[in-house]
Each structure stands twice: as structure tokens, then as C-alpha cells.
Structure 1
Amino acid sequence: MTSQDNRDLQQRIGQALGVLNSFDSEREIERRVDFLCKQMIESGQRGLVLGISGGVDSTVAGRLAQLAVERVREQGDKATFYAMRLPYGEQQDEKDARMAIDYIAPDRALATDIKPASDAMLEALEQSGLQFDDPGHRDFVHGNIKARQRMIAQYAVAGTNGALVVGTDQAAEAMMGFFTKYGDGACDLVPLAGLTKGQVRELGRALGAPSQLVEKVPTADLESLRPQLTDEEALGVSYEEIDTFLMGGEVSEQAYRTIVSTYERTEHKRRLPRSPLD
């Protein structure tokens, strides 16, 4: 494949994910807050729900959500933002999560420990005869159970209060398929769509988020055997390289191969369910 072919593929992927050619933080904040407002009003729902982890994505999305419900109320309608803390037992970076909640200043903050439900599901599966290749395989599956359990909790709150669930997926994670299908990938609204990781950080700075959260090294923290495993270690490529790829810039051959192969392998995650009618 020639360099031109590489650039053409990068451009097609960037376009498919809605990556912006130009970026203005203030304009994007307004655009995305307005999007959340319109979705609430048009759907007839009365609020937003989001899980807050203490990372930059949920911190930025959470603040956008709070600004959106406040704007809806200013327009005379009812709206409430429910920020959820969803730790698995004791979260190692609990201080960051609390800092995010304090910064976002949500209307309602709820905390639900997903450990009992997640562990009970894994135990029930094993009792039914499910077998794993090794402890690492078991831990990986358990991690996905945790992610889906978090979304069960968020949809329970949304259903109880007539609200929409907000996701934190952005272009970098979408391209790499770095989310759990029907876990953190399940939501009603994706206000960070089309943004690179660097652009999400820029929004955080423009919104006045704590620098400790904006610059924090991202971790999914789903695997018990490898706590606080960084996203970049799990992905095998840095967010800087992913962002450069998405913007059509030149990356190393190793990074290019890793990104393209991961994008192709995770295509099923970005599709709606397939049917015989497709």
C-alpha cells in the first residue's frame, strides 16, 4: 500500500467517524450542549444520566450534561441530570471520581456498587458450566460483565426518572473499538462523537475542569488482575498516534498497522445488529 493509499484510508476512517477538520472549543461546547437540549425536548424525556469515572471523557460529558439540563430549565421545562458513581468495590482512583462530581455539580449524585451483581453473574455462569481458558480469560470476561452491569444501573435510573443515558465514546475509542459492546458502548446520546482524545481535553480546559482530570492518564480499570491498566498499554498505541491518524497525519508503520488492524477487527462493534434484511 502506498503512502497515498494510507492517507486515503485515514481520510475515509476519519470521515466515517465524523472527525472535525477544524476545531473551536467554545463553538463545540455550544453545539453539544444544544444537541443534548434538543434531544431531551424532542424525545419528551426529563433528564440525563451518566456514569462518572473520574476520567476526562466522563468529566467533560458530565459537565455538558449539567449545562444542558440547566438550559432546558431556563426555557421553562423540567430536566434533571443524574450523575452516577458505579465503582466495583473500592475504586483505586476514588478521589478523582469525587473531584469530578464536585466539579460537574450535578443535580443528583447517586452511588451504586456493582461488585455484588457482577460477581454474582460470574459465579452463576460458572455454576452453569461456563469454563475459561485461563485466569486472564476469566478476568477479561468478568471485566465486560462489570461494564454491562454499569449500564444496567444507568438504564434503571433513566427508566425510573424518564431520562436519557449519555455515553462518553469519542472518535479515538470508536475507531479502536475500545468499549464493551452493550456495556459502555450502550447509550442514547453520544455528545463527544467525532472528537479526538486531544479535542476532548481541549473542551475540558475550556470548561474549566480540574487539570488533574483533564491531563489524567486514561484507564478503563475493568480487569482485576491488571488494575489501573492504561488504555494505551491495552491498545498497543498512544492516543497521540491515534489522534494524529484520525487527523490525517503521518504515524509510524507500526502504529498504522496496529490502528488499521484494530479498526477492521472491531467493525462489528460500530454496526447496528445485523439481520437477513441487510
Structure 2
Amino acid sequence: MSEIQDIIVREMKVKPTIDSKIETRQIIQFVKNYVQSHSFITSLVLGISGGQDSTLAGKLCQIAVNELKEKDIDCRFIAVKLPYGEQSDADEVEDALEFIQPDEIFTVNIKPAVDQSVQSLKNADIILTDFQKGNEKARERMKVQFSIASNTQGIVVGTDHSAENLTGFFTKYGDGAADIAPLFGLNKRQGRQILAYLGAPSHLYEKVPTADLEENKPQVPDEDALGVSYNHIDDYLEGKPVPSEVKSIIESHYIKNAHKRELAYTRYTWPKNQTNFE
């Protein structure tokens, strides 16, 4: 393993292998500990897309909430459906919700808000590309979740895992924004492994991952957008050797998207070896 791979693996906290039972209990306990350490929290809020990551995070949060209720701690899990108009995989969202069994379900169609935002920018001569509009959708979805969390004295749960964190495959201040990220430390295959352990319907974790934010290119697989497969990313994160061209792509994503993994920089935090320009 090269020096940079070693640095990335240590930063992303991915283990070479996991025990599903142990990992599941550790994540659930983390969620419970966080809730119990913050007396204002009475809800966990998460958008459910019908994909692997939100299904896993949702199920683990519902289990955590159920266990908190057994201790007479007032908390509920709120699942949020966030379609942009008609969602092509809406049936899988329903399957995910059936598996999770959330305490509460809200539905907010983000299309009117996104379209109005895009139009308002257009009125100011700022024309968004299809890709940029996709980021508007991601940020609107997160805005809705934070509004619900604020209204219910809750926090927003993120679905960011280490394969996604490494590549920066999320929208800054969109799906990358959350109060807690319980899946961090897992790669994609480990998430599938835990869902299988929890008894999730296989089609929810075997489906091709896609952000599905662009209208001109609907349902584009994540792996096509990234230029590398999750299997290779997972191998890399587990410290295994990968082809040199794959290694270059992964490390390029890591370096290019470093800003997404940081809070806003201050003059005291960026960079350590700052060059002073006159």
C-alpha cells in the first residue's frame, strides 16, 4: 500500500473486513449516545430515496429510536419522501419504507421550490446548467430536512459513507450537509453486507447506485460519473492493491474534492504552509 493510500484509508476509517453484527451494534449505539447527549433532540430526520444508503441509515436509526423508547426516552424517526415531480423509482422508496417501518413519514415535492429558484436566477441572468440544477435539487432536499428537524426539535441524519466521502460524490451543503453521519467508516460493499444481515429486500441494495439529479441524463450510474467502480473504490479503502489507472482516478477525486470534506476555512486553518502573496 502506497503512502497516500495509507493516509486515505486511515482518514476514512474503513476496516479490511467487518462483522455485521458488531458493526451494526456500534452504529446504533453511536446514534443512541448522540441523542442522549443532547437533551433537545426528540426526532431524527432522514430523506429516503429508495437507494442503499438511505435505506441502511433509516433502518439503523429506527432501531436506535425503538431502543431509546424502551428506556422512556422521547424520540422518533421521521422518514421524508422528497420527489422532484414524479419519481421514477417511487416503488423502491415504498419498499424501503416498508422495510424501515418509520415512526412518521412526510412527503414534500421539491419541484415548485427548485423551479422557482432556477427561474429567479434566470431573471438575474444566471442560467444554470442541468448539472447545476441537479445541485439545486440536492440542496433543496436538505433544506427541507433541516426545516422539518427544526420544527420537530430534531437533527438531520446524513447518508455519507467513506466511499462517497473519499470521492466527494455528494453536493456541498446538499446531501453532504447533516448533523450526524452514522455510515462513515463503511464502504459501499460493507453497507450492502449490513443490509443483507438486517434482512433488507435484496433489490434495494443490489440496484445500480445513481444520484439521478440531471434531467438530460437520467439514472446515470454513479460509477459512470466517477469513472471508476465501487468495487475498486472499496478495494482501495480496504487497503488492497488496485490497477494504477484506477488508483490515479481515486486519488484525483480525493485531492480535488478536499474542500467538500472541510468546514469553512478561516485564516487560521488554511493552509498550514500558506504562501503570502503581495
- Give unpaired runs (5+ residues) of structure 2: 270-278
User: Using the alignment, how far apart are the partners of 2:27 and 2:237 within structure 1?
Assistant: 20
Runs of at least 4 residues off by over 3 Å: none
Q: Secondary structure at the match of 2:144?
A: helix
Q: Distance in 2 between matches of 1:251 and 1:77?
A: 47
Q: Does 1:227 align with 2:218?
A: yes
What's the offset of the Cα at 1:43?
Answer: 1.1
Aligned pairs (5 A) from 1:162-241: 162-241=153-232
- The answer for the alignment partner of 2:121 in structure 1 is 125
CA deviation map 1:154-195 (0-9, x unaligned): 011100011111000001000000000000000001010010
Structure 2 residue 65 is matched with structure 1 residue 69: yes
Tell me how far apart the structure 1 counterparts of residues 92 and 3 of structure 2 sit (CA, whole Å). 40
Does 2:31 match 1:31?
Answer: no
Q: Does 1:259 align with 2:255?
A: no
Structure 2 distance, partners of 1:10, 1:216, is 28
Find the counterpart in structure 1 of residue 3 from structure 2.
8
Q: Give the one of 27, 41, 44 matched to 2:36.
A: 41
Cα displacement (A) at 1:19:
1.2
Amino acid corresponding to residue 217 of structure 1 in structure 2 = V
**Cα shift at 1:266:** 0.3
1:116 is displaced (CA, Å) by 0.6
1: CA distance, partners of 2:186 / 2:6: 15
Query: Partner residue of 2:273?
Result: none
TM superposition shift of 1:38: 1.0
Tell me whether 1:86 sits opposite 2:53 in the alignment: no
Query: 2:122 is aligned with what amino acid?
Result: E
Shift in Å, 1:22: 3.8
Supply the distance in 1 between the matched residues of 2:97 and 2:109 (Cα, whole angstroms). 16
Residue in 2 that maps onto 1:100 = 96
1:248 corresponds to: 239
CA distance in structure 1 between the aligned counterparts of 2:43 and 2:36, rounded to whole angstroms: 9
Aligned equivalents of 1:162, 1:207: Cα separation in 2: 29
Q: Secondary structure at the match of 2:131?
A: helix
Tell me the amino acid that sits aligned with residue 44 of structure 2: L
User: Any gaps of 5 or more consecutive residues in structure 1?
Assistant: 133-137
**1:48 touches 1:82 (CA, 8 Å); kept in 2?**
yes
Partner SS, residue 43 of structure 1: coil
Give the superposition deviation at 1:247. Answer: 1.0
Quick check: 1:88–1:114 contact (8 Å CA) kept in 2? yes
Deviates more, 1:11-20 or 1:171-180: 11-20
Partner of 1:269, secondary structure, is helix
Q: Match for 1:139 among 130, 143, 154?
A: 130
**CA separation in 2, counterparts of 1:76 and 1:169?**
30
Post-superposition offset of 1:256:
1.0
Q: 1:55 aligns with which of 21, 29, 51?
A: 51
For residues 68 and 194 of structure 1, what CA distance do their matches in structure 2 show?
Answer: 18
- 2:16 and 2:30 map into 1 onto residues whose CA distance is 20
Number of the residue aligned with 1:135: none
* SS across alignment from 2:77: strand
- What secondary structure does 1:129 align onto? coil
Distance 2:257 2:163 in 1: 13
Partner of 2:83, secondary structure, is: coil
Once superposed, what is the RMSD of the aligned Cα atoms?
0.9
CA distance in 2, matches of 1:59, 1:80: 16
